[in-house]
Amino acid sequence: MITIYDIAKKTGYTAPTVSKALNGTGGLSASTRKKILEVAKEIGYKPNMAARALTTKKSFLIGIIYEDTHMKKGFEHPLFSGILSKFRIEMENSGYDLIFLSKSFGFGKTSYLDHCVHRNVDGVVVINPAETDSEILELASSDIPCVSTNDIIPGIPYVITENFDAGYKAAEYFIQNGHKKMCYIAGPSSVYTTASMERLEGFKKCLSENQICFDESLIETSPSWFRENGFNAMEKIWKRHNDVTAVFAANDGMAIGAMEYFQSIGVSVPDKVSFIGFDDELFSSYFTPTLTTFRQNRARIAEIAAEILCNRLAGLPVADCVRVDANFIVRDSVKDISKISIL
C-alpha cells in the first residue's frame, strides 16, 4: 500500500508537507502543492478518506450550487458546463469530492446553508444560482469558504470574464471594418449578474473614444437569452433605426435570433448588417454566415476558482475578484465596409 512517506521520498518533501498538500491545508506554494499532487497521482496513491476525515475533521466534500431556471440548458450550457468539468478535475486532484447542493433534498425544503451543514461540506463553488437571493447572501456570510464563477456576490471571491474589455473589442472591430451605426442587444442583468451591462459599457466606451454617436434607442434589453428574444429585440431596433450596419449581441443565441429576423425580411447578413455575438456556442460555427464571437476561457476560470477555494480552505488570503480575458473568434458575420464608396 502506497503511503504519504512514499510520496515524501519521491518528491523530497517531508511527510507533513505532503500531508498538507493532500489535505489542502497549510501555507504551501501553488508549485509545491501541484508537484506533490502530480507525484501522488503518478504512483497511484489512494487516500483513506475515513482516516483523513477523522484526523483532519474535514469531510473533503465541496458543494456545488448550479441551477438553470432561466437558460434551460442544464449541463449543455456553453460556459457553465466547461467550468464545472474543469473545476471537478482541479478539486479531485486536490483530494476533494464534489456534490450538488439544492434548496430541497429528501422530502422537504431547505436552504443552501442548511444543506451545506447537513452534508458537512468543507467549501462551496457557486457556478450559477437560481437567483442571488437572501439564501445565497446567508451562505456568503457564513464561515463556509466559497467562490463564485459568474455572479458577483458580496462576501464571496469571484472569477469572471473581462466583459468590459470584450465589449470594447467588439466596437473596435466594427470600427476597423468601417461601421459607424451600431446597436446592442442586451440580456437581463441584476446588481449581481452584470455581464451584459459590462459588455455594453465597454462597447460604449470605445464608440465614445472614436467620436461615434450612440444613444439609448440603439439598445434593446431582452427578458431572457433565447433566440426568440434576439429576433424580437432586433425587430424593435430596426423599426427605430433601419440604417444600422452592425449589431453586437450579449450572447450567441440572441445574435442568431437577430440574424434570423433579417433573413425573414430579406436583409442580407453580413452584406447589409454585420454581427458579433458572445459565448461561442456550438451552433455559431455552423450557422450561415458563421458567427464572429467571444469564447470565454472556461478552463482558466475554473482553475483560478479552484485555486482560490483551496487557498481559502487553507486559511490563505485571496483576491476578491479575478477577471479572465475572453478569446475573440473571427468568422464570417462581419463585413468590411470601409472601402465601399458611395457613387
Q: Does the pLDDT value for residue 212 go beyond 90?
A: yes
pLDDT at 111: 83
Average confidence score pLDDT of the chain: 89
Q: How confident is the model at residue 240 (pLDDT cuts 50, 70, 90)?
A: very high
Note the CATH number of domain 1-55: 1.10.260.40
Q: Does the pLDDT value for residue 342 go beyond 50?
A: no
Residues sharing a CB contact under 8 Å with residue 56, sequence separation 6 or more, in sequence order: 23, 25
Angstrom distances, CA of residue 196 to CA of 59, 243, 246: 37, 24, 18
Q: Does the pLDDT value for residue 77 go beyond 90?
A: no
Least confident of 53-57, 124-128, 195-199: 53-57
pLDDT at 131: 62
Residue 249 CA neighbour count, 13 Å, CB half: 36
pLDDT higher at 72 or 266: 266
Domain segments of the chain as ranges: 1-55, 163-296
- Is domain 163-296 given the CATH code 3.40.50.2300 in the classification? yes
Q: What backbone phi and psi angles, to 5 degrees, belong to 110?
A: -150, 180
Q: Does the pLDDT value for residue 70 go beyond 70?
A: no
Q: How confident is the model at residue 73 (pLDDT cuts 50, 70, 90)?
A: low
pLDDT at 239: 97
pLDDT at 107: 52
Q: Quote the crossing angle between the two packed helices 4-11 and 30-42, to the nearest 10°.
A: 120
Cell of 324: 479572465
- Highest mean pLDDT: which range of 79-83, 136-140, 243-247: 243-247
Q: How confident is the model at residue 54 (pLDDT cuts 50, 70, 90)?
A: very low
Q: How confident is the model at residue 237 (pLDDT cuts 50, 70, 90)?
A: very high
Q: How confident is the model at residue 2 (pLDDT cuts 50, 70, 90)?
A: confident
Q: Does the pLDDT value for residue 301 go beyond 90?
A: yes
Q: Does the pLDDT value for residue 6 go beyond 90?
A: no
Residues sharing a CB contact under 8 Å with residue 313, sequence separation 6 or more, in sequence order: 24, 25, 122, 123, 145
Q: Does the pLDDT value for residue 53 go beyond 70?
A: no
Quick: pLDDT tens for 119-139. Answer: 899 999 998 786 656 788 889
